[in-house]
Amino acid sequence: MLSKNLFRFSGSLLPGLLIAGGFLLLASVLLYQLAAQPDTLSLSLGPRFLKILFWSTVQAGCSTLLSVLLGIVLAWALSHRRRFRGRRLYVAFLSSALVLPTLVVVLGIVTILGRSGWINDTLRWLGHSGFEPFIFGFSGIVIAHVYFNGSYVARTLLSRLESIPAEQHKLTRSIGLNAWQRFKMIELPSIASTLPSVSITIFLLCFTSFSIVLILGGSPKFNTLEVSIFEAIKLDFNLGRALGLALAQLAICAVLIMLGSRFSKGNQLISVPSGKQAAWHDSKMLVAIQNLILFIFAVLFMLPILAIITDGMAADFISLFTNKNFLTALLTSLIIAALSTVLVILASTLLASAFTTLATQQRLGSSRLSQPLLKLLGFSSTLYLAVPSLVLGLGFFLLARRIGGEQNLWAVAALLTSNALMVLPFAVAALAPAMVKSANRYDKLAFSLGLTKWSRWRLIESHLVRPELAYIASLAFCMSLGDLGVIALFGNQDFITLPWLLYQKMGSYRTDEAAGIALVMLAITLAVFLLLPGLFGNTKHKSHWRQHA
């Protein structure tokens, strides 16, 4: 019976397993390049390494704690204010924080909080001497991390809060619970299973942070392992130290990933929010507090973006768009982002299809092979968290030295691989629930009609998952466009992208040109993220499938 079902669903299972196995095999080959080097063990666990590890852990812990607290407060306020003008755009901007180019936002934060930033300029205009800049160093790193990750936490938790059944809302009103009691008894339990896995994910992102620490670190004292790897290669060309740091980071991330997988067992990846939702009936004082929270966050979120727009508008765009380096970087970035988007859509669709086959009872959900294979798919889709981009890039760098060939081709391969793995965790998490819901709803009908895999995709899935595919496409394009990780290792005068060019301009204090490049990147990112979903057309599937369901 098992072999018969495996053969029956092989078309939806095997491609995803091959993709997962291919990513794992590639990662194994790259990691072997690190472990096989003769001078890998040149790193000793001395004071310098322990200091890097200590500060990486402290800043990641503080960033995670503040991000989670901010995310909970913001998600709580948004879940209570379900009807106000611009709410959909507000939530869209929460989602966009994930894809905003890191260097662009960092430049905007410096423009606001720097020595000659907006706040200091305003204070001097008011007759005050201003304050000493705190944006460089530990505080700046934490501020930037909270900016990005707080929004991500809020958007994640908002979905869980909005899925609370309407019956529970009615119950809290009928027994007269106050705001704190409602939160403790109803809302907190709904997000409790999500908090550990979200916290570990954010901790890993902050622990392996590269661009933010590289720009805002201020001194080697606050380096993460990722930045230390970069400096060991680019500044000292000390491969032994870089390899040792990479393997140490890999071991730490692997332990955290295993710890996170324990907590994520309670997370219902394939759960579907309830369609019936009731609005909270809060007092005027509580409504005022919620509106104030939303207003303050909106101001803090938009200030760096407004700073980039204001400074960027003063740039000489005629000179910029006639500059050969800029045009080359722009074209390279757009091509890399487009190729990465295609790769992510293909990989995430095949992985989600295999996940659906193994997670639904009418297919292979009851098979004894389903749980081990689901773990394989889950680990391959979150591989980026265990093996960050700079570690992968170092593996490609060593492989290129060993095999030889055109370095720029190796750079493209490294960028595409890193970009795909970077987006896959979010892509599979968005696509798999929609495909599982489709399978639960239409499998019996599709099986009775004898639809082929392609016919079913064309008639059913392509309509049901179109919003998710639009989101994944925009996410992949924007995140790939603004990533600095791998290109920091491979970037040179012959191979340059917009993030690498922006980093060079910031490093040489050519702030006008940097502001212009940042504005171009910001415009492309927001345009793609906000407008691309509309190009996917009508998201409603054909009505006759609803009638037959």
Does the pLDDT value for residue 271 go beyond 70? no
CA–CA distance, 277 with 79 (Å, rounded to integer): 10
CA–CA distance, 67 with 81 (Å, rounded to integer): 21
pLDDT at 224: 84
Could you tell me the residue ranges of all domains in the chain?
37-313
pLDDT at 549: 39
The arrangement of secondary structure in 37-313, i.e. its CATH architecture, is: Orthogonal Bundle (1.10)
The DSSP annotation for 116-174 comes to TSHHHHHHHHTT-------SSSHHHHHHHHHHHHHHHHHHHHHHHHHTS-HHHHHHHHH
Q: Are 212 and 145 in contact (CB under 8 A)?
A: yes
Range ranked top by mean pLDDT from 61-65, 198-202, 397-401: 61-65
pLDDT at 542: 39
Question: Could you count the other beta carbons within 10 Å of the beta carbon of residue 345?
Answer: 18
Reduce the secondary structure of 466-535 to three states and give it as a string: HHHHHHHHHHHHHHHHHCCCCHHHHCCCCCCCHHHHHHHHHHCCCHHHHHHHHHHHHHHHHHHHHHHHHH
Those residues with Cβ within 8 angstroms of residue 6's Cβ, 6 or more apart along the chain or in another chain = 13, 364
Closest by CA to 367, choosing from 358, 356, 376, 375, is: 358
pLDDT at 267: 43
Q: What percent of the chain is modeled with pLDDT above 70? A: 84
**pLDDT tens readout for residues 301-360:** 889 999 999 988 888 888 889 999 899 999 999 999 999 999 999 998 888 888 888 777
For the whole model, what pTM was predicted? 0.82
**pLDDT tens readout for residues 359-384:** 776 666 566 777 788 788 877 887 88
SS3 367: coil
Closest by CA to 351, choosing from 6, 13, 26, is: 13
Neighbour-count burial of 339, counting CB atoms closer than 10 A to its CB (0-12 exposed, 13-18 middle, 19+ buried): middle
Those residues with Cβ within 8 angstroms of residue 426's Cβ, 6 or more apart along the chain or in another chain = 98, 472, 475
pLDDT at 192: 84
Q: Of the given ranges (274-283, 290-299, 393-402, 497-506), which has the lowest mean pLDDT?
A: 274-283
Own/partner long-range contacts of 502-509 (Cβ < 8 Å, ≥24 apart): 502/103, 502/104, 502/107, 503/103, 503/214, 503/215, 506/103, 506/107, 506/215
Higher model confidence: residue 239 or residue 43? 239
pLDDT category of residue 269 using cuts at 50, 70 and 90:
very low
pLDDT at 261: 63
Question: Could you count the other beta carbons within 10 Å of the beta carbon of residue 294?
Answer: 18
**pLDDT tens readout for residues 519-549:** 999 999 888 887 776 665 544 443 333 333 3
**What does the pLDDT average to over 85-89?**
81
Q: Which amino acid is at 506?
A: M
pLDDT at 280: 58
Computed over its alpha carbons, how large is the radius of gyration of the chain? 24
Those residues with Cβ within 8 angstroms of residue 340's Cβ, 6 or more apart along the chain or in another chain = 415, 416, 419, 420, 423, 476, 477, 480
pLDDT category of residue 273 using cuts at 50, 70 and 90:
very low
pLDDT at 191: 85
The DSSP annotation for 314-330 comes to TS-HHHHHT-HHHHHHH
Q: Retrieve residue 415's tokens.
A: 């960028």
Q: Retrieve residue 166's tokens.
A: 């309407």
Does the pLDDT value for residue 39 go beyond 60? no
Q: Of the given ranges (82-91, 122-131, 440-449), which has the lowest mean pLDDT?
A: 440-449
pLDDT category of residue 294 using cuts at 50, 70 and 90:
very high
The DSSP letter of residue 226 is: H
Q: Retrieve residue 6's tokens.
A: 């495996």
Range ranked top by mean pLDDT from 50-59, 212-221, 455-464: 50-59
Does the pLDDT value for residue 275 go beyond 50? no
Higher model confidence: residue 441 or residue 312? 312
CA–CA distance, 226 with 392 (Å, rounded to integer): 11
pLDDT at 544: 39
pLDDT at 68: 94
Q: What is the mean pLDDT of the chain?
A: 79
Does the pLDDT value for residue 238 go beyond 50? yes
CA–CA distance, 15 with 454 (Å, rounded to integer): 14
**What does the pLDDT average to over 445-468?**
71
Give alpha helix (H) positions in 164-238: 166-174, 179-182, 188-192, 195-207, 211-216, 225-234
Q: Of the given ranges (52-56, 237-241, 251-255), which has the lowest mean pLDDT?
A: 237-241
pLDDT at 295: 92
Does the pLDDT value for residue 1 go beyond 60? no
